[in-house]
Amino acid sequence: MSATISIPFAIGQQLWAIGNGHNEEWVTCPECAGTKVLTLVKGSGEIVELSCNYCAPGCESPRGVVREVTFDCQPTPFTPKRVEMSGREFRYSESSPDALAYQTYAASELFEDREACAVACEARNAEYRANAERQEIVNLSSKRKNLEHSSHYWTTRLRQLERDVEIVRRRITVIKESKAAK
């Protein structure tokens, strides 16, 4: 008894793949409007200027711009030259069988007609947009919390340093007076 497995698409068959189209561009920071500084007005009316944390990558200084990635998947012509099977999943590639590096597509990302692929592309674009919006909200709320902490921290640190300076001035005055008395 022998088992046979039918593959979804044949080698050399003209198909349509969900293209991985994305664009990256630098846009003005939505938090600081490119000024690299945020102005915080505390409840006491005190105005504090803080470096914008939203457009500052890692520990670097703010740039005034942020990278914006937009996705626009489009149907892309695809002719498979290689097929692989792992478990129950088939993956196809346009690279020749002897290529050492190649990109593969799952059979679920390939379509025989362009219209079906266009519908799948639009669904993928909607998914990317929804994920980007969720991530944007997380980034904004997280970075604003950091700014609130930063404002409190540096205001407290400033008060501590001002107290330390006053203590040092008093000590210098005492030292000068004691030397003058001798």
Confidence of residue 64 (pLDDT cuts 50, 70, 90): very high
Q: What SS3 class is residue 58?
A: coil
Per-residue pLDDT reduced to its tens digit, 17-50 = 998 888 889 999 988 999 999 887 888 888 888 8
Listed residue (68, 64, 98) closest to 82, CA to CA:
98
Average pLDDT value over all residues in the chain? 86
Q: Does residue 149 have a pLDDT over 80? A: no
d(Cα 137, Cα 152) in Å, to the nearest integer? Answer: 23
Per-residue pLDDT reduced to its tens digit, 89-123 = 899 998 887 878 788 889 999 999 999 999 999 99
More confident position, 137 or 18 = 18
Its pTM stands at: 0.58
User: Taking the domains of the chain in order of start, what are their residue ranges?
Assistant: 22-71+113-181
More confident position, 120 or 1 = 120
